[in-house]
Amino acid sequence: MSSLVQFLFALLLLLTIPVSTPAAPGYKGMSITSWTNSGYRTPNAEQSIVNLQQIGTDTVAVNLFRVTTDSRISLGNYGASLSAVRHIIKYIHSQGMKVVLKPNVDISTGVWRAQWQPRDVDYWFQNVYQPFIMDIAALAAEENVAILSVGTEFNRLEKYDRSWRNLISTVRSIFPGQLTYAANHSPAAGLGGYQTLRWWDALDLVGIDAYFPLTNRNNPSLFELEKSWQTIAANITAWRRRGGINLPVIFTEVGYPSRSNGARYPWGQDANAEPNQDVQANSYAALLKVMSQQDWFQGAFWWMWEVDPLAGGPKDNNFTPQGKASQKILEKYYRPIPIGDANLDYQFDQFDLIQVLRAGKYLSGLAATWGEGDWNGLNPTAALPHVGDGMFDQLDIIALLQSSPSDSFNAVRRPIPNLPARGVPEPPGPLLAVIALVVLVYLITRNKHR
C-alpha cells in the first residue's frame, strides 16, 4: 500500500502544477495532386484523404495545374477542374483538416515555368494571370481555404514587384485567409528564388519549394543529411535576419524520390533507378528533426500523396511516401504518442491514470508494460510506445514530469498569425487529482476486503 501512496503523492505533485497548453503547430502538411480533370472526385481520392488524416496530417495542399501561353490559361490534359477541386476541399474539411490551395501554371511550349517570360508582361499579368487567380481566390474564399498561394516558381517574373503587389492586393479584396507564394529554393539561370524576392512583406507566409540538394553522393548517412539541413536552416535564418523578414516560413513543396540519389537530386533524376526507401526516409527524418527546432518554421507540404490509395509501396521509386518507411517517419512526428498515454489514444489524461492505478505495478517489483506505467523510454518522438526499463517506478514519474509537448513536433511551432491557436483543452489539474484520489480510495477499499 505504501507504494501506491507514494505514487499518489507524485501524481498530486504533477497534477496540481498549473499547466498552460502551448499553441498547436502550424501545419502537419502533405501535398496531393490529381493528374486528370476529375481525379479529385473519385472514391479513391476520398480514401487517400482518409489515409492522410490517419497518419496525423492536419493540412493538405491541394495542387491544381494549368497551362499558359502569352494570351490565355487553359485546363490542359492534367489540370483538375474547379468543380473537382471544390469537391476535394469539401471532403478534406469533412475529415477535420485544413486546406492550402496551390495553383501551378506550366508553359505550353514545355519550357520550365521558372525560365519563362511572356512577350508582354503587363498584358499577361492583367489579362491572363490575374483573372485566373481571382477565380481560384473566389473558390478559396467560398470554401474557407486556410492558405492560398498566388503563384509557383515564376523565377523570371518575380522581379516585377508592382505587378505582384497589385495582384496580391486584388486577391485580398475577396480572400480573407493567409497568402503565400511558392518560390524556388534557388535561382534559375541566375534569376529569382526565395532570397531575391522583394515583395514578401505583401504576404503572410514565406513559401519555399525546398528541393535543396543535401549531398553530392548516393546513399548518404542520416548524420550527413542532418548536417545539410542544419546548414540550410542557418542560411534561411541569416537571410531572414539580413532582410528584416519576420514572416513564418513554410515549405510549400519538398520531397525526395525513393532512390539512392534521391537526396542528391531531390527534384528527381534517373527515373529507372532501383527503389531505395532508406534514402527517402532518412531525408524526411533529417528535415523534421532539424526544422522542428526552428521557431520560424511552420511546416512542410511533402511532394506528394497520390489520389490512388494503393500507390507507393516498397517497389515504388517515386516521390510518394505511401506504404514506405518515410510514411512511418511522418507518423512519428505528426502523431506522436505522448509520455503517459497508457491507453494509446494519443493524449495523456485521467483515463491513463486510472488504467495504471488499476494495474497496481508502481514500486511493486513486478514487470510493467507501457500500459502499466513503464514510460521512461529514451525516444520522445515515437509512433510506437517507448521501450523503457520494464518497471513502473520513480523514473517513470520523473519522465512524465519532465515531458512536455515541446518534446515532440507538436509544440515547437509558433501560432500562425491571424489564426486561432488550436490547443487541445486539458482537464484541469484539480479534477484529475480528485479522480486519482477516488481511484485510490477504491483500490484501498478493495484490498482491505480481500
CA distances from 444 to 7, 321, 365 (A): 13, 51, 19
- Length of the chain equals 450
The predicted structure's pLDDT at residue 353: 86
State the pairing for strand pair 98-107/178-184.
unpaired
Which of 165, 52, 29, 38 minimizes the C-alpha distance to 99?
Answer: 29
Alpha helices in 292-424 (DSSP H): 325-334, 350-359, 394-402
Going by C-beta distance under 8 Å and a sequence separation of 6 or more, which residues neighbour residue 187? 155, 193, 196
Cβ contacts of residue 288 below 8 Å, gap of 6+? 300, 329, 330, 333, 409
The pLDDT value recorded for residue 23 is 35
Phi and psi for 54 in degrees, rounded to 5?
Answer: -70, -20
The one-letter amino acid code at 267 reads W
On whether the 29-334 domain is CATH 3.20.20.80, my answer is yes
Partnered with residue 191 across adjacent β-strands are 188
**CA dist., res. 199 & res. 122, Å (int):** 17
pLDDT at 435 (0 to 100)? 52
Place of cell 492583367: 126
Q: Which of 372, 276, 368 is nearest to 324 (CA)?
A: 276
DSSP characters over 115-147:
G---SSHHHIIIIIIHHHHHHHHHHHHHTT-SE
**Which cell numbers in the block locate residue 100?**
492550402
Per residue of the chain (450 residues), give pLDDT as tens: 555 556 555 555 555 544 433 333 479 999 999 999 999 999 999 999 999 999 999 999 999 999 999 999 999 999 999 999 999 999 999 999 999 999 999 999 999 999 999 999 999 999 999 999 999 999 999 999 999 999 999 999 999 999 999 999 999 999 999 999 999 999 998 999 999 999 999 999 999 999 999 999 999 999 999 999 999 999 999 999 999 999 999 999 999 999 999 999 999 988 899 999 999 999 999 999 999 999 999 999 999 999 999 999 999 999 999 999 999 999 989 987 788 888 888 788 888 888 988 999 988 889 998 889 898 875 544 555 556 889 898 888 888 877 754 343 333 333 333 333 333 334 444 445 445 545 544 544 454 455
Residues 439 and 4: their CA atoms lie apart, in Å, by 11
Question: How far is CA 5 from each of CA 8, 24, 75, 375, rounded to the nearest angstrom?
Answer: 5, 35, 69, 19
- Residue 406: what pLDDT? 37
Q: Are the CB atoms for 359 and 391 separated by under 8 Å?
A: no
Integer angstrom CA distances of residue 243 from 146, 237, 252 = 26, 10, 20
- Quote the pLDDT of residue 265: 97
| Alpha-helix residue ranges (DSSP H) falling in 222-303 | 222-243, 277-291
Residue appearing with cell numbers 517489483: 365
Q: How far is CA 416 from CA 24, 147, 228, 296, 302, in A?
A: 9, 11, 27, 10, 19
Element of type H or E holding 250: strand 249-254
Q: What's residue 221's pLDDT?
A: 97
Global pTM value: 0.81
Question: Are residues 341 and 348 in contact, defined by beta-carbon separation less than 8 angstroms?
Answer: yes
The whole-angstrom separation of Cα 271 and Cα 261 is 10
Report DSSP letters for 2-27, one per residue: HHHHHHHHHHHHHHTS---PPPPPS-
Helices (H), 244-380: 277-291, 325-334, 350-359
Q: Where are the domains of the chain?
A: 2-19+337-407+426-448, 29-334
Alpha-carbon gap, residue 128 to 446, rounded angstroms: 77
Torsion over CA: 17, 20, 26, 30 (sign): positive
> Which grid cell is 130?
490575374
Q: Tell me which DSSP letter residue 386 carries.
A: -
Distance of CA 318 to the CA centre of its chain: 20
Write down the pLDDT at residue 350.
84
